[in-house]
Amino acid sequence: MNSTYSRIVGTGSYLPKKVLTNRDLELAVDTTDEWIYTRTGIRQRHIAADGEKTSDLALEASRSALRAAGIAAGDLDLIVMATTTPDMVFPSTACLLQAKLGVRNCPAFDVQAVCSGFVYGLSTADSFMRTGQYRNALVVGAETYSRILDWSDRSTCVLFGDGAGAVVLRRDSTPGILSSHLHADGSYANLLTVPGTVAGGKVSGRPLLQMDGGGVFKFAVKAMDDLVEEALAANGMQKSDIDWLVPHQANIRIIQASAKKLGLSMEKVVVTVDRHANTSAASIPLALDEAVRDGRIRTGQHVLLEAVGGGFTWGAALVKW
């Protein structure tokens, strides 16, 4: 077969059982459901159980995506895992996931691009597929942010949640991933960071998330706008050609600004931030899976994925379903 493109042929996702509502958080920090909801659109988030690791969440999402694609784990030629909350320093969470899937030999590696991780992972896997050497790839975004939050800091702990999403890419003679566009600017590293590291047998530096919320907000809105323009121009498409926007789910106000830029009504935007909060690299595949399974995203439609995250990193992928 003379194919040099890839298509998404299956999606899956997983959310830990435990739900933490804004009302629950009112009991822990000086906040209110009203403050959180009006500033962010978040009502609740899922929290991994003790002992439930990022690779466990990834495993459930991957199994679901494999079932949807109608292939076995043994058919995979490539595993790309986007996470900022790996199980351990090494091996990579992708390798741990591969072992849990019960397969061997295919390349498996992590991509670290924080909230843009899934778009980075998808673009990476698509590039591999375009060489023609791979038939089936698994791209997973999975996170356990609950482990890197300062639960006494109301300005950050209310924003994030745990979860995982996955897609299976299949080699095809026509493109599903039409284009992807990745960017980074490390000069913004301090605006959103977990500055801890392991050194000399100890954790050195603060291993908890810290953020300049206003700075992130400003940058994210502009970056999302630029991504829309870039993705449309690269494909010679108009805003009206986009059927669905599946943005990173950080904050409903950032999402609304991006939809406005596209001239899309919010009915054409997949929103999960109210129920999932910000699950970083997992947020886009979680949202995608929901919209595919409930029948909103259908064959032949154009779907724009876009994300901004720590680094800063930002990226978009334009996908024909």
Q: Which residues would be at the binding site for ligand ACO (CB under 6 A)?
A: 31, 35-36, 39-40, 115, 154-155, 158-159, 192, 211, 213-214, 216-217, 220, 248, 250-251, 278, 308-309
At its nearest, how many Å lie between ligand ACO and the CB of residue 83? Answer: 14
Q: How many beta carbons lie within 10 A of that of residue 1, not counting itself?
A: 8
Min. distance of Cβ 262 from ligand ACO in angstroms? 17
Which residue's C-beta sits nearest to ligand ACO?
213
Q: Residue 266 is encoded by which pair of tokens?
A: 């919010």
To which H or E segment does residue 221 belong? helix 213-234
Could you tell me the smallest distance in angstroms from the CB atom of residue 212 to ligand ACO?
8
Mark out the alpha helices in 3-90 (DSSP H runs). 22-26, 33-40, 54-69
Report in angstroms how near the CB of residue 50 gets to ligand ACO at its nearest. 25
CA distances (Å), origin 311, targets 190, 208, 222, 287? 8, 16, 15, 23
Q: How far apart are CA 120 and CA 319, in angstroms?
A: 14
What SS3 class is residue 21?
strand
CB nearer to ligand ACO: pick between 14 and 312: 312
Is 279 in contact with 140 (CB distance < 8 Å)? no
Would you say 14 or 160 has its CB closer to ligand ACO?
A: 160
Which residue, 34 or 241, has its beta carbon nearer to ligand ACO? 34
Query: 134 — phi, psi (to 5°)?
Result: -125, 140
Q: How many CA atoms lie within 13 A of 93 on its CB side?
A: 27
Pairwise CA distance, residues 313 & 109, whole Å? 19
> From CA 134, how far away is CA 121, in angstroms rounded?
15
CA torsion angle for 166, 185, 255, 115 (degrees, to 10)? 30
Closer to ligand ACO by Cβ: residue 218 or 298: 218
Nearer to ligand ACO among residue 98 and residue 144 (C-beta): 144
Smallest separation (angstroms) from ligand ACO to the CB of 274: 14
Measured from the CB atom, the residue of 40 and 272 that comes closer to ligand ACO is 40
253: nearest Cα among 44, 45, 37, 43: 37
> Which residues have a catalytic role annotated?
115, 248, 278
Distance CA 273, CA 43 (A): 8
Measured CA to CA, the distance from residue 29 to residue 25 in angstroms comes to 6
Q: What are phi and psi of 206, to 5 degrees?
A: -85, 115
Least Cβ distance, residue 256 to ligand ACO (angstroms): 12
Q: Give the residue with the Cβ less far from ligand ACO, 58 or 216.
A: 216
* Least distance to ligand ACO, CB of residue 247, Å: 10
